[in-house]
Amino acid sequence: DTNALSNITITEKKDSDAAVEVLNTDLSGLSATWTLPDMPQGGVADGNYLYTITATDASAKQTILTRTVIIDSTPPELPLVTTPTADTWLNSGTYIFSGTAADGNSGINTVYFTETLRGGVAPAKGNAAWLAASVDGDGNWTASVVIAAEGERTLHLYSIDRAGNDSAITTHNFG
Distance CA 145, CA 46 (A): 35
Give 93's DSSP letter: S
Sign of the Cα torsion 34, 13, 40, 101 reads negative
pLDDT tens figures, 27-78: 888 888 888 877 788 788 899 999 999 999 999 999 999 999 989 999 999 9
What does the CA dihedral 145, 150, 152, 156 come to, rounded to 10 degrees? -20
- pLDDT, residue 42, reads 79
CA distance 163 to 145: 27
How far apart, in whole angstroms, are the C-alpha atoms of residue 71 and residue 106?
Answer: 8
